[in-house]
Amino acid sequence: MNHTPPIFIHSTGHIAHRPRILIVDDVLTNVQYLLDALKEDYQVNFELSGKAGIEFAHQYRPDLILLDAMMPEMDGFSVCAQLRAHAETSAIPIIIVTSLDSPEDEARALEIGASDFMPKSVNLAVLRARVRTQLTMKRQGDMLRSLTLADPLTGLSNRRALDATIAKEWRRCARSQVPLSMILADLDHFKSFNDAYGHPAGDDCLKAVAKVFIQAAQRPQDLVARYGGEEFVILLPEVDLLGAEIVAGGVMVALKTLNMAHAASDTGSRVTTSMGVASIVPGMQAPEILLSTADTFLYRAKNLGRDQFVSGMVGV
């Protein structure tokens, strides 16, 4: 259960823009002590068991977790190990706050991936300082990861980010047995565009087309990536084939409206794209089958004359 009673949540300011801290402790007096120290500066939630804390962390991805070591059923060491074992939660800073104080306990916590180890009797000023330190380190790490996962020209996700997201969404959609769809697009005759207009104009074209794809995929969970060169991908979790076809059709209309000149194209007088649209309810197959199917449909679209999309279900 997500515990967010109004008495514990500071109501001023813009909570959505403040770091979210999760407290996991089975004793409410301990929870209250930590809340009183942090509620003025952070969005604070709490859970009263290790299992509930893990579920919250997977659903909401807090920026930091304050974790009690000694809890019934599942102790903090086990919770920390489980969170570190999953890609979705492995980067969340975890501070173990405990009545244990031996060097062996601290070493054990750090060995399983805790970011810090503090006694429950810690001074509140020290607690706030350590929280700030961990949040600063996380913010810096997030910025570094975002730089390594973004395409420098278009600002879209890059191939590395796409691969990671496909793997994550494949697992999630498989658990829920909901569809996962993909649009793989390739700009038509883009080499001829670069030859005719020059590479700076080609870069401007790619940036303009990237905006078209971003506008077509409007939900927060949709991912738009530059797959390489003049290829783009839209990943659509929980969208069936018909929904993906609607998105692909929107791309076609938007490119027509953009009406960017391409006098060297054999397909028409403007920039166009060919697309493969594939959908699947993930199961035992490897995630790569979604991309390979979309790629097959993309080349069918090219062979049919370009400036169109071909779509279908994986394996059909």
- What are the residue numbers of the active site? 230
Vertex 265, ends 260 and 269: CA angle to 5°? 45
Q: Is 150 helix (H, G, I), strand (E, B) or coil?
A: strand
User: Distance (Å, rounded) from C-alpha 299 to C-alpha 294?
Assistant: 9
Residues near 62 by beta carbon (within 8 Å), at least 6 away in sequence = 20, 21, 22, 45, 56, 92
- The number of CA neighbours under 13 Å toward the Cβ of 37 is 22
Question: To which H or E segment does residue 44 belong?
Answer: strand 43-47
Phi and psi at 65, nearest 5°, equal -125, 130
Q: At what angle do helices 76-85 and 50-60 cross, to 10 degrees?
A: 30
User: Distance (Å, rounded) from C-alpha 39 to C-alpha 187?
Assistant: 50
Query: Minimal CA–CA distance to 181: which of 243, 228, 232?
Result: 243
Instruction: Find tokens 């080349």 and name the residue.
Output: 299
Query: Minimal CA–CA distance to 233: which of 150, 153, 159, 313?
Result: 159
DSSP readout, 84-115? HHSTTTTTS-EEEEES---HHHHHHHHHTT-S
**61 — alpha (psi -120 to 50), left (phi > 0) or beta?**
left
CB-based contact 228:298 (threshold 8 Å): no
Q: Are β-strands 64-68 and 231-237 bridged in parallel, bridged antiparallel, or unpaired? A: unpaired
